[in-house]
Structure 1
Amino acid sequence: MKKVSLLGFLSISLLFFGACSNSDNSETINSLEKENKDLKEKVAYYEKNSESSSETKSPLDETNSEDTPTFKLNEEAVIVDENSQKIYSIKIIEATTNQSAFPEHMINLDNYNTEKMVAVKIEYKNIALDEPFLPYSNYFQAYGKDGKALVQVNQQNGQESVAVGRTSTTQLFWELDVNGNEFNEFEIDYIPSSKLATFDLTVTH
């Protein structure tokens, strides 16, 4: 809108100068017509580039659309780069409220109520990353089936960064509004920078 208004202003200026000036009329009009032409060319250029950039999508843009793939327990999500080359994978291998799955230090500390938590174990593999790979806890966001976000506990049990070809596991924990034996289903989004996968999980007790 601003560009159209500016061009309109230049056109009005041409008429104004044409009406108010006799001696310099021709020179002024020629100058303003040149500026008007230059501005039109610039507007056309930027509009063309704006349209082309908005239509360009990378493979990751496609992955992060509303069609984000959904995985079940023990199903592997393989992450690819912009060239569609596999770089690493993650797989959720356990989602449970069974107290035997929680580390002793969490069970014994008064500030944790593990009976109202779910423990999630994640297996991850470095396929082709030059740097050692570890999926950090803040890459994951859990939601109940009602769509309400769960609060993640500030604990990550297992933080080994693995080199190419290596696999390891890490464990994360979320607080629940109900006792663990009443919590049966939930989802986890994997969001390292944008959402790449959703895990639809059934809970064991």
Structure 2
Amino acid sequence: MKKKLFGMFGAFCLVFMLASCSKNDASEETISSLKAENEKLKSGESTQESEVQESESSEDLYFNYLNEEVRLSNGEKETAMIKITQASTNQSVFPEHMINLDNYDTNKMVAVTIEYTNVAIPSPFLVLASYFQAFGKDGKALVQVDQQNGQDAVTEGRTGVTQLFWELPVNGNDFNQMEIDFVIDKKIATFILDVSH
């Protein structure tokens, strides 16, 4: 009877030790995995800034489309957002003063509406016309008109809207797609936009 009891106890101990060993191996794998993930976070691989840099250096650039937000970061936290909400040659989207002036032929122009949000910049934030470079689908640069409709700098938590304009090589009704690069010191994003009429 003692042998049988000791044998069952020994078998129980052996099962317990094997379970403990496999549990320790799994724990060690989990710890190694967490350490590796922690190192990635420390090196900044998950920040928006490095993701932008990686996408710029790769062959497959990430493109943004109408109403897609581009989130800006200072490397530690999100600071601002922008999105393009409209690209149109329809005359109703142009400010009245531009239509009435002889200096502009709005029939051969495109108007682009941009929304910008100050997420966490202490001073008021405004996107400038100089941040944007536009191109036709053939890759040729478009000439930006010296007008910006809506130039309100917004405080933290607020959103503003501005409108920029570019001259076209063709009549507005024949212009269907464009690309806009968002550039502050370096290219941050490229928008591919269908143009409405």
Tell me the TM-score normalised to structure 2 length.
0.72
Cα distance in 1 for partners of 2:123, 2:62 equals 26
Deviation above 4 Å: which 4+ runs of structure 1?
56-59
Look up the match of 1:69.
62
Aligned to 1:142, what secondary structure does the other structure show? strand
Deviations along 1:149-173, whole A, 9 cap, x unmatched? 0000000000000000000100000
Identity %: 56
Gaps of 5+ in 2: 1-42
Alpha-carbon distance, 1:193 to partner: 1.5
* CA distance in structure 2 between the partners assigned to 1:196 and 1:181 by the alignment: 30
* Aligned AA (2:57): E
SS in 2 for 1:181: helix
Corresponding residue for residue 129 of structure 1: 121
The answer as to whether partners of 1:69 and 1:196 remain within 8 angstroms in 2 is no
Deviation string for 1:67-103 (max 9, x for gaps)? 45311101111111122x1100001001000000000
2: CA distance between counterparts of 1:175 and 1:184?
14
Matches within 5 A, 1:11-30: none
Cα distance in 2 for partners of 1:106, 1:189 equals 24
Give the corresponding residue for 1:189: 181
1:172 aligned to 2:161? no
- Aligned-pair Cα RMSD in Å: 1.7
TM-score (norm 1): 0.69
Please state whether the residue corresponding to 1:154 is helix, strand or coil: strand
DSSP-derived class of the 1:191 partner: strand
Which SS does the other structure have where 1:195 is aligned?
strand
Aligned to 1:82: 75
CA deviations over 1:166-191 (Å, ceiling 9, x no partner): 00100000000000000000100000
Per the alignment, do residues 110 and 144 of structure 1 end up closer, same or farther by CA in structure 2, a change over 3 Å counting? same
